[in-house]
Structure 1
Amino acid sequence: MRHGAQPQRLLWLSGPAGAGKTAIMGTIADECQRRGQLAGSFFFSVSSASPDRRSKRYFVTTLAYQLQQDGTLKEATSSMLASIINDPVIFQKSLKEQVEVLILNPLRVSRGSYDVTKIPRAILIDGLDECDESLEPTGPDQPVARRTREDNQTEILTVLLQALDDPAFPFQIVLASRPEPWIRRFFDSPSTAGRAAEIFLDNNYNPDKDIALFLRSKFAELRRRYNLPQTWPGEGVIMKLVENASGQFIYAATVMRFLKTPSDTPQVQLDIVLSLRPQDLESPFGPLDALYTRALLSSAKPRLAFIWLRAHQVMTYVPGVELPAWLFNSLCESSSGEAQLVLGSLPSLVQISDPTNAGDYASYTFYHKSFLDYLGDSTRCQSFPELGEEDIKRWISDRFGQILIRGGPEVYNDWESIPDFKEEFFALWFRLAAGNSSPLAWISDHILSQADHTTWIAVSCGLRDRDVGPAFRRDIFVLVHKNCRRYAPCRPACKAWRGAIFGILDKPPVDTSGCVWDRETLVKDRFCFQRIPSRPMLRERRILSTEAVHNYTGHLV
């Protein structure tokens, strides 16, 4: 970016899946940090345990917070804090408005108060293609609508260009992503063409040399750890793995994690890797898919491992869902220790992340997005062709149903944690049950008729989050009636659950906000002339109170 007659302030680093973009960006970030040149960064990650890492919601605010950390921008910081106090709902506005209020205007106000040559200049953004879809209102007091990945990623690119166009913005931006068609179109558009330097990680950059260097380093670690001969595994083996990698660093990284799997010695694991044959010889992902398949089948219960992993993928795909490992295990386990048996034997694919903040919980994370791509593509993951997405949703609904029947998880590891489990169970229900494609819509009348409806409705009235209880009651009210017909009495499950709901509602002061219980609506619904619709999809709730705004700004001072 510094070279040439007209140095460019935007660099796009792109390449196929597994080419090593994130590793490169991490190295650049470390070097910029060492030199005092890192102004800010945001690393998107769809495989992260945190939904915030795959959402655009905190993108601008994170960068704004990082930019004001430099002591030379004190005047800009003061201006930004004043803007937040004057307009506390700025965090709910569009990215364009956030960039203007939180970054550009403070920089304009403070222009001339700092030496541009002495401030950090680099802003790094990795994994733009992993910024996910979102649910946003279509207007004031309007229902939410789904914004696609393409919409959100293009919006981010647009606000970055907006910032670079402002003379007060002194920073350079390095952006890394896969070459998705809409990202490619953005950089080829007349308004952007020629304004960005581009690097595409293909064979021209000789990835084989770097992959071989990586493998030699990792094999040296294994030799020291297991006291193996200095000649192990041999240069021929390394070059064979380089050939299989086809320029994909993720293949080499997954191989080395697989060799460390405690199920057998590194040599036995290496022999397994070398014996693998891809199902699709034409696909560049063939060797990687074969490796993923073999690692998945190494689980003590491979079919159940696939179901759990796909269930995790389906649930965390819903905007706003956070799924700590203890909650996921409680949902899925049908016997003590099953989580360790099913997922504990897959250390080359999945890990339990350490909490990043006090009070957080460990979560399952995946090493690379390419594994999630593999799991969700039936042409690549062919081990269990009978298990489609509908089957996974039915399995999820059955697990929720079992919890309703038992009054809690099948496996009780700690009786004192049951109240916390129920709070989290309702919170997860709140997210998953919204919309017409909810996996919870599959819960059967048979399961609902066995559950203790009175207890669950009563518990829903005492939750800490006052939005969740009314939403649960509405969801159940709609769910139990879906199979009833106008010419016949309601089914037993419908009578029981609706009776419990009406029994609670007759005893004020119960919060019933968000539910429609007027007589005309109920009559039309009962006789199936106009059924009460499913609860609409949810926008991520991130509305800050005045107190929260002051707390936020207090941390910035």
Structure 2
Amino acid sequence: MATPQSVQTSTIRVIDRTCYLSIGRQREEERLRGLRPSAALFSRLPLNLPRPSSPTFNPSTVSVGHIENGVLGDNYGHIAQQSSYESERDSFKDAINNLVKNMESSSVHDASERSDAPKCMPNTRVKVQEEIMSWIHNGGRKQRGIMWVTGPAGTGKSAVLGSIADTCKMKGLLAGSFCFSPTPHSDERTTKKRLVATLAYQLQEHEGLPDVRRRILSSIDRRPAIFTKNLKEQFSELILNPLREIKQRGPGGSGGAVVPKVIVIDGLDECVAEQYCDSTGDLRAAARPKEGDQREILSVLLRAAKDDTFPFCILLGSRPENAIRHFFTSPDAQDVTQELFLGEQYDPDADITLFYETKLSVVREKFELPETWPAPHEKTTLVKNASGQFVYADTAMRIIEGAPKSGANNSFSLGTPCHRLKRILASGLSVEGSEPLETLDALYTSVLSTCPEPSLTMKWLRAIRGLKVLSSDSPSGEKDAPPWLVRLILESYPGEERHALGALASLLYVPPSTRRSRELGRAYSFYHKAFLDFIQSRDRCGGLYVSTTEAEDFINLRYFQTLKNHFERIVTRKDFVYMRMEYQSGKMFCFSSKKAFKEAQDALLACDVRQWTWFVANSHYAYGGHYIIRMFYAVHQWCPWYQPCRPACNHWRQNMLSVLTASGWKVPTAQQLLQNRFSDDVLYDFHPAGISSRRRS
């Protein structure tokens, strides 16, 4: 029999591998199969097996963790060496899949979806980063286990935490990260739902925590429905209990890897409340405001920070919103929390000056400008106008640099950097005595004023934020409408989007509309949340402000104005998305006032109602019936009970009833229609023949 290289006579020497012995009444042979070992599962167990002649002998499979210089003597079976990694992987395959299914990979700090997330420029924010890293290295866990990084909007909190996460990841100190941030494609990054699973996934894959993997996966294997529990139960089962078990039994070592020290969680103020379904499957408003979910997260983290078995410190970033500040200043949290406020003590002006110098040098080289540009007093004004807000500096530089080649035709992009700089400086208020938001708002107002029709631009911006599509996969029950749908509804003529948004290249990413573009799948993206705050505040926008109600009336008007183009542009694979359009208020098609309805009446009368009704009736019924009921109600909403219905109402209702009746649908009776003239509370029904009604209006 050929003897393997690692076998000398009857002595087998196996190092750093797991050996499985199978003893059976077979012909004598030895087989050694080498597979990749798992450092996480090494153990040293004595080999003391009964011989076949022993009364206790029973043919079986015996697993031995480690053999070193083991003399086996006579062999009556076969010896197989098998990787514990392979065995573990097969054993926990379902658990791993379950964990991956319930995590949110795009919320991890280095996810591909976050490739454009803000980071500190080299040599900026040095002092604050050094303070945080010192806290992580020098016993932050033993003193105050939570550091809360906070400060006003635009001061660079996310950039600081992103840079810290990168540094810690490079050094092996990062146990896990989660960034709450809104995204058009997924609401999972703005809710608590996947927080624990995402952290648990990162812990079990960390090389410095070899014993954690098996215990986390065992917990999931034992309780596969753990992700349906509340955060406290999830955190206990998937993180605290495995760590507690390791501490009680003693760790197996990290195999030379660095043991992580910190968990980074950013943007807690962006966390919104989940929306749940009722017993009928209909999405209902969240039972509590977002502050409730934020407090739940903080309570779970505080409990972990106070647990001796939890070895990590927690770095958490957010705006100083009342609910979050109230939690951290409570007696229960004060003793374990260290607050780091990004204020003047960290000399933001020096960092902003360096930021400007670096960016301006690139502009000078690109446009062949003299080294003396810009003048010293212009640089000073730029720094002072920023008032410690990196968001101002970043926005100003985007304007000075100019729009990218794909940008639209606008006054900023057509001018030279010199002209754009002068425009920025002219837009600012008197620096002395002005508030930080005033200079930022003046900059935003200046950019908006370069648009051909600023009021139209504001309507488009609010409509982009307000137009949603229903989504049962989203915790909030909805997500932002895709760009093709926004254009389909809002563009009353070709190129209107470019006309309305072209001057905003420094504030808003507008996806290209060409089918060949690789970026066609990307959604509209605001570079800074501060700009969203601006357009949603009446006090800050002044005369440019467009309310939510005005934005919804604008969307409704454009829906009817562009309806004739919808059906030829909607391909089969997109009609399902089209049929799920909605607003956050749930008032699709419904105008807010009699005045708004009258202004839209010409557009309503010009619509091909028969085509619309046929299209909707033959689409997905789950939404088609809902849309027909909604439209039937909306066109009649502003008809007076004491007079004949308005022409637009007659046009729509008569044609809808004609098409639906011919198609075999159940429609309201004459009595129901008569009652509906006097009351909006009359229940009426639309559904295909043979299908019972699921919704009434």
TM over 0.5, shorter chain: yes
- Please give the alpha-carbon distance, in whole angstroms, between the structure 1 residues aligned to 2:680 and 2:451: 50
The verdict on how the C-alpha distance between 1:47 and 1:81 changes in structure 2, with shifts beyond 3 A counting, is: closer
Show the counterpart of 1:391: 550
Residue of structure 1 aligned with 2:428, choices 270, 277, 295: 277
- 2:623 maps to 1:468: yes
Alignment coverage as a number of residue pairs: 510
Contact kept, 8 Å, 1:128 with 1:176, in 2: the verdict is yes
Show the counterpart of 2:272: 132
The verdict on how the C-alpha distance between 1:457 and 1:93 changes in structure 2, with shifts beyond 3 A counting, is: farther
Show the counterpart of 1:423: 576
Show the counterpart of 1:537: none
Structure 1: state its 5+ residue gaps.
410-414, 508-515, 535-557
Q: Report SS of the residue matched to 1:230.
A: coil
The CA RMSD measured in Å over matched residues stands at 3.7
What are the superposed Cα offsets for residues 14-41 of structure 1, whole Å, 9 maximum, x if unpaired? Answer: 0001111111111111111211222222
Contact kept, 8 Å, 2:428 with 2:442, in 1: the verdict is yes
Please show how residues 302-451 of structure 1 align to structure 2 within 5 Å: 302-315=454-467, 319=476, 320-352=478-510, 361-384=521-544, 387-403=546-562, 405-406=563-564, 408=566, 417-427=570-580, 429=581, 431-432=582-583, 435=586, 440-442=590-592, 444=597, 446=601, 447-448=603-604, 450-451=606-607
Contact kept, 8 Å, 2:385 with 2:428, in 1: the verdict is no
Higher helix share: 1
- Please give the alpha-carbon distance, in whole angstroms, between the structure 2 residues aligned to 1:45 and 1:215: 27
Contact kept, 8 Å, 1:129 with 1:178, in 2: the verdict is yes
The verdict on how the C-alpha distance between 1:477 and 1:113 changes in structure 2, with shifts beyond 3 A counting, is: farther
Show the counterpart of 2:612: 456
Contact kept, 8 Å, 1:325 with 1:364, in 2: the verdict is yes
- What code does the residue aligned with 1:478 have? Y
What are the superposed Cα offsets for residues 31-71 of structure 1, whole Å, 9 maximum, x if unpaired? Answer: 11211222222222347664333333333333333333335
The verdict on how the C-alpha distance between 1:416 and 1:339 changes in structure 2, with shifts beyond 3 A counting, is: closer
Residue of structure 1 aligned with 2:383, choices 242, 246, 249: 242
Q: Report SS of the residue matched to 1:321.
A: strand
- What code does the residue aligned with 2:270 have? E
Contact kept, 8 Å, 2:181 with 2:190, in 1: the verdict is yes
Please show how residues 58-69 of structure 1 align to structure 2 within 5 Å: 58-69=194-205
Show the counterpart of 1:163: 304
The verdict on how the C-alpha distance between 1:337 and 1:484 changes in structure 2, with shifts beyond 3 A counting, is: closer
The verdict on how the C-alpha distance between 1:231 and 1:207 changes in structure 2, with shifts beyond 3 A counting, is: same
- Please give the alpha-carbon distance, in whole angstroms, between the structure 2 residues aligned to 1:150 and 1:533: 39
User: How far 1:95 sits from its partner (Å)?
Assistant: 3.2
- Please give the alpha-carbon distance, in whole angstroms, between the structure 2 residues aligned to 1:307 and 1:478: 25
- Please give the alpha-carbon distance, in whole angstroms, between the structure 1 residues aligned to 2:628 and 2:161: 47
User: How far 1:289 sits from its partner (Å)?
Assistant: 0.8
What are the superposed Cα offsets for residues 433-458 of structure 1, whole Å, 9 maximum, x if unpaired? Answer: 764x5574558483555444444344
Contact kept, 8 Å, 2:395 with 2:506, in 1: the verdict is yes
Q: Report SS of the residue matched to 2:371.
A: coil
Between the aligned residues of both structures, percent identity stands at: 34
Contact kept, 8 Å, 1:37 with 1:122, in 2: the verdict is yes
Deviates more, 1:35-44 or 1:523-532: 523-532
Q: Report SS of the residue matched to 1:285.
A: helix
TM-score of the two chains, using structure 2 as the length reference: 0.65
User: How far 1:266 sits from its partner (Å)?
Assistant: 0.8
The verdict on how the C-alpha distance between 1:402 and 1:353 changes in structure 2, with shifts beyond 3 A counting, is: closer
The verdict on how the C-alpha distance between 1:118 and 1:462 changes in structure 2, with shifts beyond 3 A counting, is: farther
Show the counterpart of 2:170: 34
- What code does the residue aligned with 1:311 have? A
What are the superposed Cα offsets for residues 317-367 of structure 1, whole Å, 9 maximum, x if unpaired? Answer: 99422222232222221222222232233111111479xxx9981111111
Show the counterpart of 2:54: none
- 2:263 maps to 1:123: yes
Contact kept, 8 Å, 2:385 with 2:436, in 1: the verdict is no
Contact kept, 8 Å, 1:46 with 1:369, in 2: the verdict is no
User: How far 1:130 sits from its partner (Å)?
Assistant: 1.8
Structure 2: state its 5+ residue gaps.
1-134, 403-412, 471-475, 513-517, 686-697
- Please give the alpha-carbon distance, in whole angstroms, between the structure 2 residues aligned to 1:192 and 1:348: 41
Show the counterpart of 2:104: none
Show the counterpart of 1:290: 442
- Please give the alpha-carbon distance, in whole angstroms, between the structure 2 residues aligned to 1:97 and 1:461: 46
1 or 2 for the larger relative contact order (CA 8 Å, sep ≥6)? Answer: 1
